[in-house]
C-alpha cells in the first residue's frame, strides 16, 4: 500500500519501479490490441499504436536489470536470498509461464516463439549472479560486449542447418528468421539488462544517501544521452544514404532504425529506452508528491502483477478478440472504446489478484529449498519477480 510520502521516504524511492512497470504494461496492451484488432496492419491507426507500444520491451528489460542492480546495492548483505527468489521466478517463467503463453497461441497463432518472458527468465538466472561477482563498470562493459557480439553474429554468420539457424535466432537473432515467428533473442537483450543493472547500482547508491532528486537526475540524464545518440545515429544513416544517392553505406544498417526490434537495433534500444528512463523518473515524481494517489496505487499494483497481466492479455486478445473482431459493431470507428474495454477486462482481474495476495503462488518452490531465513519483509514490489516472492525472500540487516 502506497502512502503519501515526503521526498526522501523509502516508499517514494523504491516503489517507482512498480509504478513504471504498471505504466509500461499499458503500452503492451496498446501494442497487442492493435496487432489483433485491425485486419490491415499497414493502415495508419495500427501502425501508430504499434509504434507507441514499441516502448514496452526496452522499458521492461531496463526495469528488470535496474531492479537487479538496485537490490544488489541496497540489500547486499542479503542478496543471496534475493538471488534465490530471482532464480525461482526465472524457472517459473521458463516452465509454467511459457506453457501458459503457448496455450493462448495455439488456437490460431504460432508455437514457434521465444517470448520476452523467456528472455527475462534467462536474465533473472544470469544477472543476479553477475551482479554479486562483477562491479557495475564491468557489467556495463560486458553488456556492451554481449550486444555487439550479437550483431556481429547477425551480420556475419549465415548458418544453413536448422539446428544452427535455431541457435542463431535464439542467442543472437536474425534479420531473416525461419525458426521463430517472433522472438526476443537472448544475447542482445541480456546485454541491455546488464547495462541497466550497472545503472541500478548507481541508483541504489543514491537511494542509500536518501537523494531522490539525484535518482531522477541520473535517469533523466541517461535518457537524454540515449535519445541524443539515437538521433545522431539515425542522422548519420540518412546522410550516408543521401551522399551515396540511396546506396547503403552505413555498416550494420539494422543499428540505425528506431523500428528494428527483432533483433533489437541500437537506435531502437536507445530511442525507446530513453523514454523508459523518463518513465522511471516520472514515476519517482508521482510517488514523491502523490499527484494522483488513486492512479499511482493502481499502477503500482499493476506493476506488481505484471506477469499475470502479460499472460492473461494473450488470452483476451488472441483467444477472444482475434476470432470475433470481424463481427464487432462499428469496428472501424469504435476502436478506442474496444481498446478501453479490453484494458478494463484485463486490469480488473489483475488488481483483484493483487488484492488477495495470490502472487505468493507464483513459485516453483526453488527458494524454499534454500537453507535460509525468510522472515522480514522487503518493502519493495517486484513485477516480473512477484511481490510476494521478494517480500518473503529477504531480510535487511541495515534496518
Per DSSP, the residues of 225-237 read: HHHHHHHHHHHHH
Measured CA distances, 143 to 62, 79, 131, 278, 339 (Å): 12, 21, 12, 21, 37
State the average pLDDT over residues 170-193.
Answer: 94
Angstrom distance (rounded) from CA 63 to CA 258: 20
State the average pLDDT over residues 113-120.
Answer: 95
Do 286 and 292 contact (CB within 8 A), yes or no? yes
Angstrom distance (rounded) from CA 202 to CA 219: 10
Q: What are phi and psi of 114, to 5 degrees?
A: -120, 100
Question: For the whole model, what pTM was predicted?
Answer: 0.87
Task: Count Cβ atoms within 10 A of the Cβ of residue 137 and give its class: 0-12 exposed, 13-18 middle, 19 or more buried.
Answer: exposed
Do 171 and 122 contact (CB within 8 A), yes or no? no
Q: Could you tell me how many helices (H) and strands (E) the chain has, helices first?
A: 17, 2
State the average pLDDT over residues 109-138.
Answer: 94
Collect all residues with Cβ–Cβ distance below 8 Å to 235 and sequence separation of at least 6: none
**Residue 355 CB neighbours (<10 A):** 10
Q: Roughly what angle, to the nearest 10 degrees, separates helices 162-171 and 136-156?
A: 140
State the average pLDDT over residues 250-279.
Answer: 86
Find residue 226's DSSP bridge partners. none
Counting residues of the chain whose pLDDT is more than 90, the rounded percentage is 65
Do 147 and 193 contact (CB within 8 A), yes or no? no
Does the structure show a pLDDT above 60 at 378?
no
Do 216 and 281 contact (CB within 8 A), yes or no? yes
Does the structure show a pLDDT above 90 at 185?
yes
Q: Which of 177-181, 273-277, 281-285, 363-367 has the lowest mean pLDDT?
A: 363-367
Cβ-defined contacts of 228-233 (< 8 Å, 24+): 229/270, 230/258, 230/267, 230/270, 230/271, 230/274, 233/266, 233/267, 233/270
- pLDDT: is 108 or 96 the higher one? 96
User: Which among 338, 278, 327 is positioned nearest to 59, based on CA atoms?
Assistant: 278
Plot region of 159 (φ>0 → left; ψ -120 to 50 → alpha; else → beta): beta
Angstrom distance (rounded) from CA 287 to CA 15: 8
State the average pLDDT over residues 234-262.
Answer: 72
Q: In this predicted structure, what is the pLDDT of residue 5?
A: 40
Q: How confident is the model at residue 306 (pLDDT cuts 50, 70, 90)?
A: very high
Amino acid at each position: 500500500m502506497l502512502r503519501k510520502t515526503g521526498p526522501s521516504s523509502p516508499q517514494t524511492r523504491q516503489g517507482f519501479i512498480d509504478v513504471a512497470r504498471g505504466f509500461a504494461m499499458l503500452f503492451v496492451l496498446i501494442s497487442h490490441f492493435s496487432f489483433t484488432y485491425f485486419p490491415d496492419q499497414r493502415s495508419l491507426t495500427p501502425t501508430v499504436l504499434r509504434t507507441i507500444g514499441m516502448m514496452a520491451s526496452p522499458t521492461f528489460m531496463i526495469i528488470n536489470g535496474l531492479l537487479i542492480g538496485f537490490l544488489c546495492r541496497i540489500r547486499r548483505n542479503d542478496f543471496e536470498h534475493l538471488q534465490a527468489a530471482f532464480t525461482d521466478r526465472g524457472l517459473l517463467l521458463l516452465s509454467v509461464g511459457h506453457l501458459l503463453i503457448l496455450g493462448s497461441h495455439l488456437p490460431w497463432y504460432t508455437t514457434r516463439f521465444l517470448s520476452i518472458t523467456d528472455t527475462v527468465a534467462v536474465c533473472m538466472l544470469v544477472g543476479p549472479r553477475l551482479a554479486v561477482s562483477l562491479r557495475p563498470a564491468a557489467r556495463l562493459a560486458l553488456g556492451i560486449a554481449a550486444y555487439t557480439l550479437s550483431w556481429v553474429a547477425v551480420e556475419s554468420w549465415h548458418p544453413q542447418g536448422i539446428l544452427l539457424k535455431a541457435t542463431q535466432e535464439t542467442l543472437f537473432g536474425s534479420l531473416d528468421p525461419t525458426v521463430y515467428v517472433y522472438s526476443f533473442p537472448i544475447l542482445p537483450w541480456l546485454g541491455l539488462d546488464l547495462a541497466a543493472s550497472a545503472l541500478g547500482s548507481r541508483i541504489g547508491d543514491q537511494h542509500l544517501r536518501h537523494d531522490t532528486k539525484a535518482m531522477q537526475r541520473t535517469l533523466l540524464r541517461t535518457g537524454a544521452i540515449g535519445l541524443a545518440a539515437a538521433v545522431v545515429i539515425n542522422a548519420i544513416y540518412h546522410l550516408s544514404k543521401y551522399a551515396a544517392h540511396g546506396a547503403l553505406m552505413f555498416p550494420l544498417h539494422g543499428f540505425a532504425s528506431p523500428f528494428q526490434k527483432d533483433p533489437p537495433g541500437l537506435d531502437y534500444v536507445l530511442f525507446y529506452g530513453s523514454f523508459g528512463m523518463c518513465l522511471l523518473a516520472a514515476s519517482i515524481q508521482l510517488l514523491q508528491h502523490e499527484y494522483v494517489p488513486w492512479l499511482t496505487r493502481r499502477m503500482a499494483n499493476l506493476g506488481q502483477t505484471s506477469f499475470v497481466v502479460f499472460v492473461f492479455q494473450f488470452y483476451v486478445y488472441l483467444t477472444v478478440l482475434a476470432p470475433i473482431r470481424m463481427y464487432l459493431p462499428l469496428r472501424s470507428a469504435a476502436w478506442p472504446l474496444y481498446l478501453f474495454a479490453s484494458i478494463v477486462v484485463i486490469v480488473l482481474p489483475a488488481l483483484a489478484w493483487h488484492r488477495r495476495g495470490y502472487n505468493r503462488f507464483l513459485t516453483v518452490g526453488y527458494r524454499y529449498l534454500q537453507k535460509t531465513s525468510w522472515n522480514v519483509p522487503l518493502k519493495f514490489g517486484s513485477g516480473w519477480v512477484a511481490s510476494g516472492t521478494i517480500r518473503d525472500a529477504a531480510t535487511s540487516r541495515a534496518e
